[in-house]
Structure 1
Amino acid sequence: MSLNKNLNDIEKSQLIELMHESLRIRSHFELFLWMQGKLQVFLPHEIMITAWGDFSLGVIYFNIVSPLPGIRSDKIASHEINQFLQNLFNYWLNHAKAPFTLAAADNILHDCEFSNKESSYYLKNMKSALVHAIKDHRGRHDCLYVLLSSNLSFPPASRPMLEALLPYIDSALRQIEHLPEQQPTLIKAEPEPKDESLNILSGRELEIMDWVTKGKTNQEIGMILDISAFTVKNHLQRIFKKLNVMNRAQAVAKFRK
């Protein structure tokens, strides 16, 4: 479906302006206004859940943007929603990596148990979902985007529209800091002994890993520590070797134990 054929000149102008505005977002408040403003013209929704991390390892971070009361990232625990997000990502991965929709008959979120009653009420009253994702083959930093609506379904044009706007939504989110509650809670079957391999990390390596666990990129860590992104990359390669891991996500999982 071609977007150009389905938009009039005014809508095309609004769409271009929406894309440009995404590049100027620098705070959570600006992100909220952007998502509740012109984005609603093209992708109407009441709740947006974004999730990122290494889904293959179950290391998932999430963020929720919504004007509804009680629907906040800090009101929902990772273990209450991670399996739902994992299932959506797996479905997307196994179905041509294309955007897809869910309707009321799919019982969206009905199997999830939320401790916050207000959050549970609104989430379980969502009737439809629009889902798309990004598979990061280089950094294993996958991203999932879930738009929820109380309407019975999303219009057919929503899927190609989300596909077109996803790079701008993704860019907007990457330009703002993570909130403390956006860090995942890893559930362990039983307590595990402290990994002694962490003791061999230098002070600088521990400092870098601390920023890595907060979701910072090599470039961002370099700016914070006043070193080059290349130097950060070299430090990470030594860290991976010391921790006996293959990538960033595995290092984070081991570092958090």
Structure 2
Amino acid sequence: MKLQTPLSGEDSARYAALVEQGTAITRHAELLEWLQGDIQRCLPHDILLAGWGNFQEGAIQHDVVSRLPGARSYAAGTDSLPFLLAKFYDRWLSADRQPCRLDFAEFDYLLGQASLPGSFSSSLRGMRSVLIHGLHDTRAQQECVYVLMGENDIPAEPAFTAIRMLMPSMDAALRQMAPLPQQRRQAALPVRAVDDASGLSERETQIMAWVAMGKTNSEIGAILCISGFTVKNHMQRIFQKLNVFNRAQAVSKVTRVGIYG
């Protein structure tokens, strides 16, 4: 592990002030103001994604904090945000659980070819840089990952130092806030539970995850390394199992099964 550069007296005072401000946060609006204030000097970003739960099982809850239109926790297009967070979580693990910085272009394929105006995916299209860090909550036995996304480059420093210093405050602030109404009934079910409830196979569940993100059959085929024709055959079986007639109905039904059990 690399040794961290000692903080100057000025930097130490700045971080101490930011941490103290974070202790007073009890609402989402206050968290947004905190993140968009002096923190921008050391952690410039436009969107904060927070995910927590059992990433191995796919039981992930999430929150989104941003001023951007459409970048809301339950805006259109966020149904499959847990799958994107799982990708970021895997990259954090690959970095030995240390802060890591990525080019969002690596994940652009997840957005599909088109996005509805005001949707979550349309907000993500302008993102350029991604900064990821996380922590393990021993008491709750769950992982937490925090993803900062920026329209401009997020420099490695001071961002790496800042995320190490401030992430515990971000985490504590989110824990102090009352959950959004949608979070009280949010789908935090493992993928296997959704499989059991809907009757879908593991492959069909994977396909439905990409369908929910707006992917075409050919795009899903490219992602899963199968032909678009094979995806089409899977979709026909999915429609039969769910007793639906189109993709929108299938997404709605799978989401409803996942959320309400």
Tell me the TM-score normalised to structure 1 length.
0.66
- 1:216-227 mapped onto 2 (5 Å cutoff): none
Which residue is 2:111 aligned to?
Answer: 112
Gapped runs of 5+ residues in structure 1? Answer: 194-252
What's the CA shift for 1:103? 1.6
Aligned counterparts of 1:80 and 1:191: Cα–Cα separation in 2: 18
Change in CA separation of 1:112 and 1:31 when aligned onto 2, cut-off 3 Å: same
Change in CA separation of 1:109 and 1:176 when aligned onto 2, cut-off 3 Å: farther
Change in CA separation of 1:189 and 1:79 when aligned onto 2, cut-off 3 Å: farther
What's the CA shift for 1:96? 1.2
Which residue is 1:175 aligned to?
Answer: 176
What's the CA shift for 1:44? 0.8
Tell me the TM-score normalised to structure 2 length.
0.65
Secondary structure at the aligned position of 2:80 is classed as: helix
| 1:152-177: CA deviation from partner (whole Å, max 9, x where unpaired) | 34333211221121111111111101
| 1:115-164: CA deviation from partner (whole Å, max 9, x where unpaired) | 64323222021000000011234422211100000113433321122112
Q: Answer yes or no: is the 8 Å Cα contact 1:50–1:146 preserved in 2.
A: yes
Change in CA separation of 1:100 and 1:53 when aligned onto 2, cut-off 3 Å: same
Say which of 176, 179, 184 aligns to 2:187: 184
Amino acid across the alignment from 2:170: I
Secondary structure at the aligned position of 2:69 is classed as: coil
Which residue is 2:128 aligned to?
Answer: 127
- 1:94-243 mapped onto 2 (5 Å cutoff): 94-104=94-104, 106-113=105-112, 116-118=116-118, 119-182=120-183, 183-184=186-187, 188-189=194-195, 191=197
What's the CA shift for 1:15? 1.8
| 1:198-230: CA deviation from partner (whole Å, max 9, x where unpaired) | xxxxxxxxxxxxxxxxxxxxxxxxxxxxxxxxx
Change in CA separation of 1:178 and 1:67 when aligned onto 2, cut-off 3 Å: same
Amino acid across the alignment from 1:31: L
Aligned counterparts of 1:124 and 1:116: Cα–Cα separation in 2: 11
Amino acid across the alignment from 2:187: P
Gapped runs of 5+ residues in structure 2? Answer: 200-256
Change in CA separation of 1:143 and 1:159 when aligned onto 2, cut-off 3 Å: same
Change in CA separation of 1:14 and 1:57 when aligned onto 2, cut-off 3 Å: same
Count of residues in Structure 1 that have an aligned counterpart in Structure 2? 195
CA RMSD of the aligned region, Å?
2.8
Aligned counterparts of 1:149 and 1:29: Cα–Cα separation in 2: 20
Change in CA separation of 1:176 and 1:116 when aligned onto 2, cut-off 3 Å: farther
Amino acid across the alignment from 1:108: F
Q: Indicate yes or no: 2:26 matched with 1:26.
A: yes
Q: Answer yes or no: is the 8 Å Cα contact 1:100–1:132 preserved in 2.
A: yes
